[in-house]
Each structure stands twice: as structure tokens, then as C-alpha cells.
Chain A
Amino acid sequence: MKRRDLLLGSGAALTLAACGSTPSVPARAQVVVVGGGYGGATAARYVRLLSDQKIDVVLVEPQESFVSCPVSNLVLSGTRTLADITSSYDALVSRHGVKWVRDSASRLDTTTKTVSLAGGASIRYDKLVVSPGVELLFDEIAGLRAAHTSGQVLQAWKAGSETLALRRQLEAMADGGVYAISVPEAPYRCPPGPYERASVVAAYFQRAKPKSKVLILDANPDVTSKPALFKKAWAELYPGMVEFRPLHKVVAVEGQRIRIEVQDDVRADVLNLLPPMRANIIAAQAGLMNAGRWCKVHWQTLESTAAKDVHVLGDAVLAAGGMPKSGHMANAHAKVAAAAIVAQLSGQPVNASPMLTNTCYSYVGDNSAIHVASVHEYVAAEDTFKPVPGSGGVSAQRNEAEAAYAAGWARNIWADTLG
């Protein structure tokens, strides 16, 4: 009882100190996490777990609940609902003692070590975790911002209400129509995602409107992930329905017409244009976006090379070789960062040889899936992670067992991130 009182003492004082502004926002915390996606939520949870709940954590995330991008393509094909891919933040708070501030960060000051919130409050930190995800660069495709704002051309790459809106567009499309999805130049969030989406939309068309077509306009020279497996699935499961056009970079949209950089224009009935991506704007404003469109980190700790005591993770990071921008990888980044933060705050040596794993499942039909897996080891001499030679790989062929594993993977990673 006494011990508990003492441990909570500092927290209680902080709560009182914050009462002058917004009662629910503490004035300071040992660790503040900005962003509650796969990276940020996992980081918040694992700092609590690995510190045996000794380090206090504030999570800044404006959304009411967590909506998973992985599996969201099945909402488009109609075999899952949005509720199926939505999880609560409640367990992070009630089970792990994370203080969740439902607001968004408006400014990160890495000199005064302060996070300013859109609601007006600010929080001082000892350690900051920035896991802001990607920003979609609508303005890099002429006409896209207006078309997106009007609801005519959707991305649905950030899962949520747009996922449902795109589902409605697919349902409303007449049999014999064309659904076009464009893929930006790599790197972008979820390398196999566009091809999974094309596959399961084709599965839906086959069930509901079999004269329709799926057209993939890819800015890249080939399918970015699992090319042989995806192309085999399209040829065998959806003959004549899925068309893949490499090196087709979308530069403009006018009504139902898509302009391609080199080739002829394309018309489609449902336009799903994925703009180029970069680290979210909050990272840029804080000076963390120091490697082109991405944030460079010291890989042993995922500490920014631009600011001390700031750990950047997930899709916003300049990836090391062979490392995808995936939810699984963000979860893996978060655990390495959390362990490093716990070690640093408790005066212990940081793990000299951290490891990362990744498995990306992709559905290619209602009941079949494929995967790509990798294991990455820290290489101190080069301050990077590299795939362990001989490890990793892709499915031998698409199969039903992996469709079940993909569903199980989702349930376990959601629990590992938020449970």
C-alpha cells in the first residue's frame, strides 16, 4: 500500500500540476508517444511491460479507436466489416496504465522537450516516441485533392470511413465496369497492399458482377511484392479480369479520366488513386524528416539522427535494406525502441544485438493467401539492420491454410499492440 502510494506520488503531483489547463493532460511524463497506430500503441504498451510498469507513458492519439489497415481490403471485398478490424484503446489504459490523451500533437519541440497539443495543452517529456505514419501527397497528382475532397476519388489507404465509402462505390458500380487502382513509386506504406486489394476486389466482382474489370496502374517496373505469386493468382483465379500495367505513373485526374505520364489516358468507373507518400507532416515540422521524405534513425535504439531522446518508428522511418513499411514491422520497431528506452531510463546497457521480424500475409482470394517473411539483425559496424542471410522467403504457392493464419496473425498482433 505504502509502496504503491510512493510510486504513484510523482504521478499524482503531475495530475495536480496540470489542473490549471486541461485536467486530463499531465504536464510531464517520462515517455510521451505521438501516434497510436501499430508502432505507437505497441511502443506505449511495451514501455509499460518491459519496465514492469515503472515508467509512466502518455499516448497522444486523437482517434476514438484503432482501425487496422491490414485486413481492411477484406472490408472492400465484403467478407469483413469495419467493426471486425476495429479495436479499442481501453486495455492500454485499464490493463497497462498508459495515460491516453485523445488529442493530436500540433508541435514537437525537441529542444525544450515539449509536445504541444491541438487542444492547447503541452506535455514535457524525458523520452519522445514519434510514430506518425505517412502523409498522402494528394497534390502530386493534378486534380486529386479536389477529387478526393469531393469524395469522387478515394484512397482508403488509411482504413476507416473511406474504406466503407470505397466499398459503397464498388457496390454501386454496374456489372461490366472498370475499377482502377494506382500504385505510387516505392517506398510506400504496405508494399503488397495494392495487389492484395486488386485480388480481393476481383474476388468480389467474380461473385457479384463478373463482367467487370480490375486495372492496376503501377508507377513501378513490376509488382513490388510477391510478383510471381500475385500474377499467378490473377491468371488462374481471375482470367481476363485483372490487368496489370507496369511503369504507368498517374499524373492527373479529370472526372473519370486518369492521365498517365507516358502512355494514353485511361477511363475507369471507380478510381482508387494512391498518391505518393512521405513521413507525416508533424515529423517534418519537428526537423525529423532528414532523409528525403523519411526520418533517419540510429537503428540500435531507433533514436532520430536529428534529435536526442526522440525515437521515430514505423512507416515514417527511412527503412533499412529489405525492410517493408508494414504494420508488423512498425510493431517490431516499437519493441526495439521500447527496450532501448527502458534500458536508457533505468541506467542499463542497451541491447547490443536487437532483432526484428516481419510477416506480411496477403489474401489473393476469399479463402486463399500468400506471405512474405523476413528476419533482420542489427549490424553495429554499419548502424543498420540487415536480413539474416538464408532466412525469410515467400509462400511456395497460395493456399487456404495461410488465409486462416492471416486471420490468426491479425488477432494476435492486435492483442500484442493493444491488448
Chain B
Amino acid sequence: MARHASILLAGLMMACGAHAQVANLPTRSLAATCAACHGTDGRSVSGAGMVSLRGLDRTYLQAQLQAFRDGSRPATVMHQIAKGYTPEQIDQLAGYFAALPRVAP
């Protein structure tokens, strides 16, 4: 009964378009800046050639982005993009993509 009431309340709030809380919005928004090239939520289209970021190891992702950022990993584009993000944002991105389930290669 309590469950029913909470469901009803949730439905009413959505109908009014207010206070339907959405989790993790700033991080999802930040991660969306990667999506045009690497796919929505890091899921690259098969055969597109850009790596799928989702489900990669957090430490690995962070290290690669830092390496692009400091120039120690050569690149065509990513060294220019990575320099646009702070170490804190890189950490946030690495944590977000690492937490998503890996897709079949």
C-alpha cells in the first residue's frame, strides 16, 4: 500500500514536470562531451574506429587521458582535446566510463 502511494506520488510529480530527481546529471553531462566521437555513454558504433570508453579500467582511462594531456602519448586529435579538461574532470570521466558495463568488442 505504501509502495502504491509512493508510485502514485512519483507519477503525479512527473505529470507536473517537477522534482523528478535525476541522478548524476553534471557528470553525465560532462561525459556527453565525449559522445560525438566515442558514442553515447562511450559505446562506439562497431567498425567506426574510435575506442568504446565504457567499461574500461578507471586507472587506465585516467592514465591515457593524462598522457594525452601532457603530450607523452602522441595522437592526431586527443592531445588537443585532453588539454581542455582539468585533472579533476579527467578523474570524473574515468570514473563514469569505468562504472558502465563493457560492451562486447
Of B19, B76, B82, the residue contacting A402 (CB under 8 A) is B76
Q: Is A339 a contact of B37 with CB atoms below 8 Å? A: no
Q: Residues of B contacting A404 with CB < 8 Å?
A: 49
Q: How far is the CA of A348 from the CA of B83 in the complex (A)?
A: 30
Residues of chain B lying within 8 A (CB to CB) of residue A359: 36-37, 77, 81
Contact, CB under 8 Å: A405 / B7? no
Q: Are B11 and A7 in contact (CB under 8 A)?
A: yes
Give every chain A residue within 8 A of B7 (Cβ-Cβ).
2-3, 6
Bound form: Cα–Cα A351–B22 in Å: 13
By the criterion CB–CB under 8 Å, are B29 and A50 in contact? Answer: yes
Q: How far is the CB of A6 from chain B (nearest CB, A)?
A: 3
Chain B, range 45-73, C-beta contacts under 8 Å to A? 45, 47-50
Chain A residue at minimum C-beta to C-beta distance from B79: A393
Residue A415 contacts which of B22, B40, B77, B82 (CB distance < 8 angstroms)?
A: B40
Inter-subunit contact A392/B80 (CB<8 Å): yes
Q: Is A311 an interface residue (CB 8 A)?
A: no
In the complex, chain A residues whose CB is within 8 Å of the CB of B82? 391
Inter-subunit contact B40/A335 (CB<8 Å): no
What total count of A-B pairs have CB within 8 Å? 159
Minimal Cβ-Cβ distance residue in A for B82: A391
Closest beta carbon of chain B to A416's beta carbon, Å = 5
Contact with B along A146-159 (1 / 0, CB 8 A): 00000000000000
Query: Is the CB of A342 closer than 8 A to any CB of chain B?
Result: yes
Q: Which of B34, B40, B48, B84 contacts A377 (CB 8 A)?
A: B84
**In chain B between 61 and 105, which residues have their CB closer than 8 angstroms to a CB of chain A?**
76-77, 80-85, 89
Expressed in whole angstroms, the Cα–Cα distance for A392 and B68 within the complex equals 12
Q: Are B80 and A351 in contact (CB-based, < 8 A)?
A: no
Q: Within A23-41, which residues are at the interface with B (CB < 8 Å)?
A: 30
Contact across chains for B84 and A392 when beta carbons are under 8 A apart: yes
The reply to whether A6 and B11 contact each other, CB–CB distance below 8 Å, is yes
Contacts of A259 in B (CB 8 A): none
Name the one of A3, A6, A335, A346 contacting B21, with C-beta atoms under 8 angstroms: A346
In the assembled complex, which residues on chain A have CB atoms less than 8 Å from the CB atom of B33? 332, 335, 355-357
Q: Which residues of A contact B (CB under 8 A)?
A: 2-3, 6-7, 9-10, 30, 46, 49-52, 54-55, 126, 328, 331-332, 335-336, 339, 342-343, 345-348, 351, 354-357, 359, 371, 373-377, 387-388, 390-393, 395, 399, 401-402, 404-405, 407-409, 411-413, 415-416, 419
A-B contact pairs, 17 of them (CB 8 A): A2-B4, A3-B10, A7-B14, A51-B22, A335-B29, A354-B29, A359-B81, A377-B84, A387-B84, A392-B84, A402-B77, A405-B50, A405-B77, A408-B37, A411-B47, A415-B40, A416-B39
Q: Beyond the given A10-B14, A373-B81, please list 17 additional residue pairs across the A-B interface where CB-CB is below 8 A.
A: A50-B32, A54-B20, A331-B36, A332-B33, A332-B36, A335-B29, A343-B22, A348-B25, A355-B33, A390-B83, A392-B80, A392-B83, A402-B76, A404-B49, A407-B48, A409-B50, A415-B40
Top 8 nearest A-B pairs (CB, nearest first) are: A375-B84, A6-B11, A391-B84, A408-B48, A408-B49, A339-B29, A391-B83, A388-B84
